[in-house]
Amino acid sequence: SSMRLLVLLFATLAPVACTLHRFKTLVEAGNTDCFTVDIKQTSVGVTASYMVISADSSHDIHFDLRGAQSSYQVKERRQRGIHTFDAAQGEMSLCLDNSYSYTADKMIAVSIHINDDIVPLSTVADKTTQAADRIQRQLKLAQNELYDRSNLEKKHRTVVENNFENINFWGIVNSCAMVTAGVVQVVAIRKLLK
């Protein structure tokens, strides 16, 4: 019975699943971070997306995606991107290249979604279970949507928080510059007329 439950556990959590790798990582200036997925299926749909969520809204990252057996190749330098393609069996690698930057550390949110149904739906005959599968699929889509939205919100919030700090800094700099200019003018005029 415990063995059956184990199989059920695998089937319960894994159906309409798809493997999903979602993470945020900091790519330091001058570094390149690479992540690889060893695709076990002969051909499977993959959706890879990335977004730069640093404080500076002008930051972009060099994105290098390579499917196994040269099935798909992307080299671009942008702030965010999404790629859907069919990956062949083998190693698929995704590189975030920040080597062209000297001081800017970049936080990147990456999401790799692989459509490998571990338990194919056709083996399930029960209507209720099929309904449960559909509901689960919809819920997963909702969760993915929430996650993407939260990444975007994080990006905007980081920019605004950065502005909040910058305003104080530049305010002080401006005030000092004005006072210094005023004092220098007076001193110069006095010297002129001495």
Partner 1 sequence: MIRGLVALSVLAIAATNALYFHIAETERKCFIEEIPDETMVIGNYKVQLHDPNTNGYADYPSIGMHVEVKDPEEKVILSKLYLSEGRFTFTSHTPGEHTICLYSNSSSWFAGAQLRVHLDIQAGEHTQDYVQIAQKDKLNELQLRIRQLLDQVDQIQKEQNYQRYREERFRQTSESTNQRVLWWSIGQTFVLVATGAWQMRHLKGFFEAKKLV
Site residues, partner 1 (CB under 8 A): 2-3, 5-6, 8-10, 12-13, 19, 21, 23-26, 33-41, 44, 107, 112, 114, 116, 118, 128-129, 132, 135-136, 139-140, 142-143, 146, 149-150, 153-154, 156-157, 160-161, 163-164, 167-168, 171, 174-175, 178-179, 181-182, 185-186, 189-190, 193
Helix (H) or strand (E) holding 191: helix 127-192
To partner 1, the closest distance from the beta carbon of 175 in angstroms equals 5
- Of 8 and 82, nearer to partner 1 (C-beta) is 8
Q: Give the span between the Cα atoms of 159 and 54, in whole angstroms.
A: 8
To partner 1, the closest distance from the beta carbon of 112 in angstroms equals 7
To partner 1, the closest distance from the beta carbon of 136 in angstroms equals 6
Q: Give the span between the Cα atoms of 87 and 66, in whole angstroms.
A: 9
Taking the CA atoms of residue 154, residue 155, residue 159 and residue 162 in that order, the dihedral angle to the nearest 10 degrees is 50
Contact yes or no for 60/77 (Cβ under 8 A): yes
Helix (H, G, I), strand (E, B) or coil at 75: strand
- Of 82 and 183, nearer to partner 1 (C-beta) is 183
Q: Which residues pair with 97 in a beta bridge?
A: 32, 62
